[in-house]
Amino acid sequence: MVKYNTMENMICVAARQMEDGSSAAIGTGVPTAAGMLAQKLYAPNLLIFFEAGAAGPILPTMPVSVGDSRTTHHSLLASTMLDTMEAGQRGLLDYTFLGGAQIDKFGNLNSTMLGDDYHHPKVRFPGSGGANDLGSFCWKIMVVTPHAKKRFVEKVDFITTPGFLSGPGAREEAGLYKGTGPFRVITDLAILDYNNPKKRMQVVSLHEGVTLEQVKDNTGFELLVADKLEKTPPPTDEELRILREEIDPSGFIIGRG
Amino acid sequence: MVKYNTMENMICVAARQMEDGSSAAIGTGVPTAAGMLAQKLYAPNLLIFFEAGAAGPILPTMPVSVGDSRTTHHSLLASTMLDTMEAGQRGLLDYTFLGGAQIDKFGNLNSTMLGDDYHHPKVRFPGSGGANDLGSFCWKIMVVTPHAKKRFVEKVDFITTPGFLSGPGAREEAGLYKGTGPFRVITDLAILDYNNPKKRMQVVSLHEGVTLEQVKDNTGFELLVADKLEKTPPPTDEELRILREEIDPSGFIIGRG
Amino acid sequence: MEKLKVGKGELFMPYDADESRHFFKEKNKKLVNKLTTVPEAVEKYIPDGTYIAVGGFGGVRISTSVLHEILRQGKKNLGLSGHTSTHDCQILAAGECFDRCDIAYVIGLEARGLSRVSRKYFESGKVKFTEWTNAALAWRYKAAAMGVSYLPCRTMLGTDTFEQSAAKEVLCPFTGAKYAAVPALSPDVAMIHVHRCDVYGNCQIDGINISDADLAKASKHVIITAERIVPNEEIRRQPWATTIPAWCVDAVIQVPYGSFPGCMEKEYFSDEDHFALWLKKEKDPEEFKAFIKKYILDTKNFSEYLELCGGISRMNDLRFDELLVNPNTK
Amino acid sequence: MEKLKVGKGELFMPYDADESRHFFKEKNKKLVNKLTTVPEAVEKYIPDGTYIAVGGFGGVRISTSVLHEILRQGKKNLGLSGHTSTHDCQILAAGECFDRCDIAYVIGLEARGLSRVSRKYFESGKVKFTEWTNAALAWRYKAAAMGVSYLPCRTMLGTDTFEQSAAKEVLCPFTGAKYAAVPALSPDVAMIHVHRCDVYGNCQIDGINISDADLAKASKHVIITAERIVPNEEIRRQPWATTIPAWCVDAVIQVPYGSFPGCMEKEYFSDEDHFALWLKKEKDPEEFKAFIKKYILDTKNFSEYLELCGGISRMNDLRFDELLVNPNTK
C-alpha cells in the first residue's frame, strides 16, 4: 500500500462521491483535482462547468483560476458567467464543491468575515464569489475542508452561502429551490452528511486510523453520528498514481497535504 | 424634373427625416429603402439596426426579411433579437418605422385585427411582431402609409402599438419611457406630426399638387393643421436616380407606387 | 396606489420552476451519439398536443424538414409559439396542426405579403390565441433559459396587445417604475436548424442567432437539423463558437439545404420564386391541396421536396444569390 | 403574507432609467477613430470619484495597463465593482484608489492565496462595502444592459450575504415564488481588454466572455485595450464574432500583452512567478512600496513594466505555457 497524505486522501474520497453522467460546477484546487480523478476512474461522463463560463473541457492540467484558459482547453463551450449560473438556476448542475473559513452544523458556510460587526471585520475574506450562487442553485453541495474546531463552529460569524440555514424547511422558506442543499463534507478525518430529519451534520465514515472521538474533538458543535458508521477505504494505488502522475505532477495541490 | 410615383415620393420624404449620426431600427420595404437613401444622401452615419439581430450593415440590396442575410451584409454585428430590443430599451435607438392597417389621431397603430371581438376577428393580421416593442422603446416613431379614410380612423379596433394612447401623459402613465412617442407620419399626400399640446396628428406639409381638403377627405378623424403649412419639396433627380439605380433596381418596392 | 393590470389572455404553458428544474436534472448530460432521422425525431418527441417552437426567423434558418414531417405524420392539437412565425406558421396552418398559439407575428411573410390559408385558419375559430410581441416572446424564452419564472420589461404597456396577453404589470422594488412582467415559456420541443454540429448536438450558428440560444436552453427537448455534421474536435477547437451545447439537445439530423425555401447565412438565399408559388397556390383551395399533397404529403423525405423544387441546380443558384455573385459575369 | 426582506447594504450606484436612457441617446453612434493613449483615456474618463468596473476575471483578460495608469495618476475615491476582482483589486488597493466597493470576490487571488495589502485595506475602515455574489453582480450588469432597473434571481436568499446587500425580496406575480431582486448597475467606466478590435471599437474576444458583453452595454463609458487593432473589414467579415460593438466604446488603445500578468486565451498564460512576486513583496510594507514604485509608479508606460518583467523573452515563454508546448522537446 502506497503512503498518502491528507490532501491526497480528501481528493480521492471526493472523487468517489460523484455519479457518472452527472454535472459539477467546480473551483480550482481540490475540486478540480477531484473532478479530474472522478472523470478518469469513476465518472467518465462527468460534465464539468466552471463559473466563469467554460463547460465540458478536457483538462490538461490544473487551472489556477476558474476563468483561465485551462478551463476552456478543448472544452465544448466557452461562454459567459451567467451561462453557467443560469444553467445552475434552471436545475442542470448536480454538484458543487465549496469551502470556507467556517461551517456550522447545518452546513452554512462563511467565506466573508470573522467578527461580529460586518463593517468592521476582525478578518475580512474574499466574500461569496460564486459560492452563494452555486450553493443556492446546485442540487448537492459538497464541502472539502480540513477538520478543525475553529472551522466547524456552532454558529458561523456570517452566512456567506446557504447550507440548511436554520434547519429543515428553512431553505424553501427563504425562497431557495426544493431539493437542494448540503450533501457531503469531506475532511481529513471523516466523511459527513446530513441524511437525517434534523438536516444536521453527521459522521458517516471514518478515515483510516481515525477515531470518532478524534472527529468530535475537532468539531465545535454537537455532531450526530450515522446509525451505521463506515470505514473510509484508503486511496487505492491507482487513484494515487493518477493523481500524482497525471493530475498534479507538480504537486501544486497535493503538496499542501 | 423626373416623374415619380407616390411610393418613390414617400421614400424620399422619409429619407430626409433622419438626423445624421442617429440610429434607426428599420423593417423591410419602405423603411429600408428610406434608410439606404438617407445613408447615401443625408445621414451617412445613420446606424441601422434590424430587429432580428443585425446592426451596422452595408446594405447591398433590399432585404426580404428583417432577419435575412442582406441585413448582416458586411455588418458590424450579427447578434440576437434581444440584443436589438435591449439596445432600444436602454435608449440607444432614435427612430423606428412602423406601419399598420389603422392609425388614429394619437398615432396608435393597429396591425392585429379588424372587428370588435378579439377572439373572433373579422380580419386577422400578423400582430405586433416587433412593432409594439420598437414603438415602446425608440425615441421617435415614424409611420409611412398610404393616406385613406379606412386607415386614418377615429379609434383603432385594436391598439397593437402605442402612439400617445389616450393623449398627453398617457404613455408615461402606462409605464412607457419619458420622451418617446409618435414623431411623424409620411403619406402619399402629406407629412404630419404631433407637435402640439394635445399630441394629436396635424398636417405640417402638403406634397406637390395636394390640397388640404384632399388630406382631410382622406382622414377619418378631425385633423389639426400646423400654424405654418409647408409644401413638401418633390423628389430630387438625384434621390430618384439613387433610389431607382442603386437601391431598388428591380422595382421590388417602388414598383408598388 | 393604482391597481396593477393583468392581461386577460390564456397562459398556455404555465411555468413551474420546481418541475422544470427536476426535468433538467434528469435530462441526459452524457455525450452520446444523437443522430437519428427526421421521421423518428418527430415520432418520438412530438406527439399530438405538444407545444412547439421553431428556431430562426420565419423564413430564415428554419427547420423546414421537421415542419414538413409534422404535416406528413398528421400531427394535431399542437401548441405553437408565434415568435415571428412566417413560413413555419404557413406550413403548420396548411395541415391545421396546431390549435393554440402565442402570437407575436403570424400569417404574414414580411415583405412578401400575407398567407391566405394561415389567415383563414386564424379566423376560423379553430385556434385559441394569446397576444405578445417578438421581444416579449424572446424574453419569455430567456426567463426559462435563466431558470426564473418571469422577467420585467417595458413593452406592451398601455396597449390592447398587453390586454390580450397573459402578462402582468409589476412595480420595480427600487424605482417604483411600472413593468410588464412576462412569464417564462418552456416549450415542450424546439426545432432549430444550424450550420454545423457534432453527433452529440454541440452546434455552431453563423450570422444572427435570433433567439435560438435561449430557446434551446428553455425547451424541454430540442431537435437539431444541421447543414453538416462535423467532428467533435472541430467544436472543441473554438468552443466560444458553440451557440447550443449538447446538453440541451435530444436529436441530431444532417439536412443539407434544411432551411429551404428560407435563407441560410453564407449558404443559400431564400427562394423567392418558391415563396411566391406558395402564395399563388393558396389563392385556390383545391390547387393548394394538390400542391401540399404533391410537394409534402407524397414526398418521402426532404430530399424529394428539394428535387421537386429544382434540386442541386436550383440550390446552386441560391448559393450564388446568397453570395451576391452573378454567375453570368466574370 | 410575510414581510419581504430588504438588504441593508448601501446602494452605491442607484439606477435611473430615464437618466440612463438619455445618456445613451446622446452618446456618439458615429464610426469615428477612437484611438488614444492609456494616459489620455484615464485622464479623460476617470476623474476622482468615478465608479469603475474591470472586465475579464481578476487574473484573466484584465486591462492591466489602465489599472497601472490609475495608480500612476494617483486617482482617489473611486467606486469599484468587485465582480471577481483579484489582481485588479490588488493593484487598486496598493494605491488606495477606491473608497467604496460592491463586493462579490475581492482580496483573494483564487488558488494563489490572499493579498495581504488588499485585506488590510478592506479591514482599515477606509473602504465602504456592500455584499453581493458573482452572479448577482453579473445580473446587475445584465439589467442595465437590458435597460431595466432590476432582475429577479434566486441567489443570496436566506443569507447574511443578502442581509448586507442592497437587494430586495420580491414575489413572482405568476407563481408567488420568492426572488431576490437585484438593482441594475451602470458603472461610469468599464475597462475591458480584448483580443482584437478596429479603431472604432468593434471588439472580438476569444475564449470565455465572462460578463463583458453585458458590462460594455451597461457602462456609460468603455475603455478598450486590445492585443491588436485590426481593419474594420476584418470585423465585418464575421459580424457574429463581434462581442462588443463600437457604439458602446469611447476609447481604443493597442496594448499587446495587455492582460499580463493575467492570462489571455490562446495568447499567453498567466505569469505565476510574477503573481508570486507580488504576494511575496506584500509581506513587507517597505519592500512592497519600493516594488510598486519601481514597477508601476516609476515606469512611463506598460511596455516598461513588461521589460522589467522579462520583456519579449518572458512573453515568449508565457505563449509556450498557454499553448501547452514544451519548447525543450520536439
Query: Residues C160-193: pLDDT tens digits?
Result: 999 999 999 999 999 999 999 999 999 999 999 9
**Pick from B6, B18, B15: nearest CA to B239:** B15
- Which residues does C176 contact at the CB level (< 8 Å), separation at least 6? none
pLDDT the model gives residue D1: 56
The DSSP-derived string for C78-106 is EEEEESS-SHHHHHHHHTT-EEEEEESS-
Res C118 pLDDT > 70: yes
Measured distance CA(B234)–CA(B248) in Å, rounded: 19
pLDDT the model gives residue B1: 65
Q: Smallest Cβ distance to A68: which of D123, D270, D324?
A: D270
Percentage of the residues of chain B whose pLDDT score is greater than 70: 100
pLDDT the model gives residue A29: 86
Q: In D, which residues are within 8 Å of B76 by CB distance? A: 202, 235-236, 239, 242, 245-246
* C-alpha neighbours within 13 Å on the C-beta side of residue D63: 28
Question: Is B45 in Cβ contact with D29 (below 8 Å)?
Answer: yes
Nearest CA in chain D to C241: D241
pLDDT the model gives residue C330: 54
Q: CB contact, 8 Å: A125 with chain D?
A: yes
Question: Degrees (nearest 5) of the Cα angle D22, D28, D34?
Answer: 145
Query: Residues A233-250: pLDDT tens digits?
Result: 999 999 999 999 999 998
CA C285 to chain centre: 26
Question: Is D136 in Cβ contact with A175 (below 8 Å)?
Answer: no
pLDDT the model gives residue A28: 86
Q: CB contact, 8 Å: B128 with chain D?
A: no
Please provide the average confidence, as pLDDT, over all residues in chain A.
96
Tell me, which fold does domain B6-188+209-221+232-256 have in CATH? Glutaconate Coenzyme A-transferase (3.40.1080)
Q: Smallest Cβ distance to A126: which of D108, D123, D139?
A: D108
Q: In D, which residues are within 8 Å of B90 by CB distance? A: 20-21, 24, 144-147, 217
> Which of the residues C5, C21, C148 would you substitute to probe the D interface, choosing the one with the greatest number of D C-beta atoms within 10 Å?
C148
E-only strand ranges, D140-241:
150-153, 168-171, 178-183, 189-197, 203-204, 221-229
Res D98 pLDDT > 80: yes
Measured distance CA(D275)–CA(B140) in Å, rounded: 52
- The interface predicted TM-score (ipTM) is 0.98
pLDDT the model gives residue C327: 79
pLDDT band at D329 (very low <50, low <70, confident <90, very high): low
Nearest CA in chain A to D129: A119
Return phi, psi of residue C285, to 5°. Answer: -55, -40
> Which of the residues C10, C150, C170, C174 would you substitute to probe the D interface, choosing the one with the greatest number of D C-beta atoms within 10 Å?
C174
Domain D17-321 has CATH 3.40.1080.10: yes
Q: CB contact, 8 Å: D251 with chain C?
A: no
Q: In A, which residues are within 8 Å of D139 by CB distance? A: 82
pLDDT the model gives residue D293: 98
Respond yes or no: is residue B222 known to be catalytic. Answer: no
In chain B, what are the helix, strand and coil shares in percent, each to the nearest 5?
Answer: 25, 20, 55
pLDDT the model gives residue D330: 54
Q: What are the structural domain ranges in chain C?
A: 17-321
Return phi, psi of residue B190, to 5°. Answer: -160, 170
How close, in Å, is residue C43 to chain B by CA atoms? 30
pLDDT band at A1 (very low <50, low <70, confident <90, very high): low
Contact C321, C268 (CB under 8 A): yes
Query: What residue has cell string 440555514?
Result: A165
Measured distance CA(A244)–CA(A239) in Å, rounded: 9
Q: What are the structural domain ranges in chain B?
A: 6-188+209-221+232-256
Query: Residues D129-169: pLDDT tens digits?
Result: 999 999 999 999 999 999 999 999 999 999 999 999 999 99
What pTM was computed for the model?
0.98
Q: In C, which residues are within 8 Å of D177 by CB distance? A: 17, 149
| C221-229 vs C251-254, strand pairing mode | parallel
